[in-house]
Each structure stands twice: as structure tokens, then as C-alpha cells.
Amino acid sequence: MTVVSEALGWTAAACVVGLHLPQVWRTVVHGRSEGVPAARAWVAIGVSLVWLGYGLFGGGLVQVVLNGTCLVLNALLLRRLVPGRRHAVAGSVLTALAAAGVIAVGSTAGMLALGVVGAVVGTVVYLPQLLALRTATEVDGVSALSLWLQGVSGSCWIGYGVLRDEVVVWSPNVAVLLVTAWTLALLRLRRTAPEPLPSLSG
């Protein structure tokens, strides 16, 4: 059982890292950011901080490796997505406060408390992208491959959490699967929507 759960955990971690790479490639390397909100990366950094703390306070090596890597990848995304200096400063301050909060909670209440926080914030980590797609007209910057890997990783985390009896790990990923399916449906709808007719006025 332990071997299976560890295999699922590392598979999920690989998928999570993998789901970031197409988006980093499109946005950081090629500068394609249409439809990709900066809030997506800020929220991902906050969630990664919580789960990194969970791993460091006893949640396992897979959490430490995964979330340390995600912090780096989302920091790279923010270099392209942040609209201005004021936004960058505000986000950095909030991130520093989140890191201090993780240390405080982990030191006083331990791993389980961080897991509960992680489960709560983990249910909203992918909402910014979904919300952005509800109103976006240009979605060329959004990677469908990232979204599919997101779904696979959520499935693996559910298996990992169930086998290790970690409710805080598997429960938020049920919501992740639902949000991912909805996001993929919206992305397909936006990409297949007919082009608006040119105006005849003027």
C-alpha cells in the first residue's frame, strides 16, 4: 500500500510540475499571456507555501519537492503577468505574510493544522483561471495541456490521500477535478466561438 501511495504521490507531483511547464513556455518564453490572470500565479504561490510547510512539518518529501518547484515556476510566470510595480509590491508583501503565517501555524499547531489550511485554500487554487475564462475574449495564452495535467494530478492526489488516510490531501482535489472540467469546457467554448462580424459603421 505504501509503495502504491508513494507512486501516486510522485506521479501527481510530476503532473503538477508538468502542468506548469506548458504555461511557463507559452507565457515566459513566448510572451503569450492572453486570458491568463496574474491572480492565478499569486494564488498558486500562496497554496504552495502552505503545502511546503505541510511537507516540512512532517507531510513528506513529495510535498517539499513539489511545492518548492511550484514556487519557482509561478515566480517566473509573475515576471510576465504582473501589470505594474504597485501590484508586484502588494503581492510580495502578501506572500511574505503568508510565509510568516505558515511558519507560525506549523510551529504552534503542527502539520495537521497546515493541512486543514491547505485543504481550504486548495479548493480555490484554480478558480482564478476559471473566472478569467468566463469573461475573456482572447484565450490564446491559456494552455489546454496544463489543464489536462491538472485533472490527472487531481486524480492521483485523491488516490494518494485515500491510501495514506490524509483527508486534507484528497478532499480538495475533488473540487479541483470539478473546476478543471468546467475550465476545460469554457476554454473549448471560447476557442470555438465564431469571430464577431466587423462593424460597418465609420
* Domain contains 199: no
Q: Is residue 35 part of a domain?
A: yes
Instruction: Say if 77 falls within a structural domain.
Output: yes
Helix runs in 59-137, H state only = 61-81, 85-108, 111-122, 127-135
Quick check: helix, strand or coil at residue 200? coil
* Per-residue model confidence (pLDDT) at position 128: 80
Domain-embedded: residue 201 = no
On whether residue 196 sits in a domain, the answer given is no
Q: Which residues of the chain have pLDDT under 50?
A: 197-202
The count of domains in the chain is 1
Position 85 in a domain? yes
What was the pLDDT predicted at 193? 65
Residue at 118 is within a domain: yes
Whether the predicted model's global pTM rises above the 0.75 cut: no
Residue 200 included in any domain: no
pLDDT digit string, tens, across residues 122-153: 777 778 888 888 877 777 778 788 888 889 98
CA nearest neighbour of 70 among 136, 146, 141:
146
Residue type present at position 62: V
Kindly give, in sequence order, each residue whose CB lies less than 8 Å from that of residue 28, ignoring residues fewer than 6 positions away. 76, 77, 79, 80
Structural domain for 102, as ranges: 2-191
Residue 41's Cβ-side half-sphere holds a number of Cα atoms within 13 Å equal to: 29
